[in-house]
Amino acid sequence: MRIMGLDFGSKTVGVAVSDPLLITAQGIEIIRRKEENKLRRTLARIEELIEEYEVTQIVLGLPKNMNGTIGERAQITLEFREKLERRTGLPVAMWDERLTTVAADQAMMEAGIRREHRGEYVDRIAAVLILQGYLDHRANKETE
């Protein structure tokens, strides 16, 4: 059993998966698309990864506004959630992703990755941060 984490953006989807013990998250790829509304190939690739990694649940980052409200981007993400659930048949948990892209960018700066190369990694790292936050929360809940 593994959990998949997704950072859904307007042109990319960062993808991470957990280890089989549900302790750590690893980034696996960034799915790129030419147009925001074209999701058929994106969903097909997610399905391939679900099968390859034997995923049983998905965690999708929810980009809330800083004041906690749901804006346009979050509404689009919630619509994507519905498509994911229908297409994969898997449960999709939402996870507050505020500041994950900022944290991913900061981690790359600290690692010495040059600014012009950060775009190649930021969505994958954001997916890792989303999934790791979910895994940590889940583990803490189980120990309470």
pLDDT of residue 132 exceeding 90: yes
Q: Residue 135 class from Cβ within 10 Å (0-12 exposed, 13-18 middle, 19+ buried)?
A: buried
pLDDT, tens digit, 9 for 90 and up, residues 97-109: 876 766 676 776 7
Ordered structural domains, the chain, with CATH? 2-143 (3.30.420.140)
Quote the pLDDT of residue 121: 72
pLDDT of residue 124 exceeding 90: no
For the sheet with 2-8, list strands across it: 25-32, 12-18, 2-8, 55-62, 92-96
Bridge-partner residues for 25, per DSSP? Answer: 18
Specify the pTM: 0.87
Average pLDDT over residues 10-37: 92
